[in-house]
Structure 1
Amino acid sequence: MSKSQEILDEKKYNKLIVILSILIPVVVAALFGVKIPNVEPLTFLPPIYASINALTALVLILAFIAIRNKKIILHKRLMTFAIILSVAFLGMYVAYHMTSDSTKFGGEGTIKYVYYFILLTHILLSIIVIPFVLITYVRAITNNIEKHKKIAKITFPLWLYVAITGVVVYVMISPYYV
């Protein structure tokens, strides 16, 4: 594939990347204000979606190892699986918050500040990582490998941080679930 063809292929996805990068956080934020009446709260979901975050972190690390060992097909499959896991997480996370009241963190002192720092950075980076993941993925599927490698060096640690801190936030707040 020629360089100009790679650029054209990549440009086809740019509008979709922009739309999804804006739409996903806006829709998630809007759905936080929606409570489905007369529905049993989905209180069983937080440990499941925390486990999905842990699995996502593991898959990201395995994908990193795979590409370092030049196992390109395995890397592609693992990265696609990581995206599927992230979408599953997001669906469960939104479903939980549409049926359940938010849990307040009950810790006091220094741990409270640590928790809110981790939570805030997790939320902000989970928004910021969306376009990075999409751009990185598009550059891979359009065979723009040099640009893919450059942005993957930024995307990987951001996405891994979001996945790991999702688990940490759950572990820290789980004693306060009703």
Structure 2
Amino acid sequence: MINTAIKPFQATAFKQGEFVEITDNDLKGKWAVVFFYPADFTFVCPTELGDLADNYDEFEKRGVEIFSVSTDTHFTHKAWHDSSDTIGKIQYPMIGDPTHLMANNFGVLREGQGVADRATFLIDPEGVIQAMEITAEGIGRDAQDLLRKVKAAQYVAAHPGEVCPAKWEEGDATLAPSLDLVGKI
């Protein structure tokens, strides 16, 4: 899926007290993170979504929009938002995918279960997937690590011919792949 364009979709999301329509076009023209999680009112999911909410300003400063997605409805997202202090902090769109279109488009629908895997997709302004991560049910993700990956992807996009090595942080040295580097790192 890396370096492929996202597929068309239309869905309803809950965002800041309103229901809004979201399409694949809303993910284009800026950097976007599509953050799939299995289900509302569960255990690991609210810790991840709360972590994203706590770091949302940092993503916005980098021109990145977060879109969380589960196969629950937008109505369920509103009920969860209204009943949970952790989820109540969320300002980014919470997309409902009860038809499983998005989960199928991104290849993360759990066969026979009707829920999405715990999956993250980093999408560039052209709508092309630049990074993805899928973890097992019990392994939560880290917003700071995702932010580091966003910074690296944005750096590489802005600096053709350079790459970011392991553990790269903004301001660290990068590499310019060449024949001279082969076997020297």
Fold match (TM-score > 0.5): no
Structure showing greater Rg: 1
Q: TM-score, with normalisation over the residues of structure 1? A: 0.25
Identify the structure with the greater helix proportion: 1
Higher normalized strand content (fraction of residues): 2
* TM-score in terms of structure 2 length: 0.25
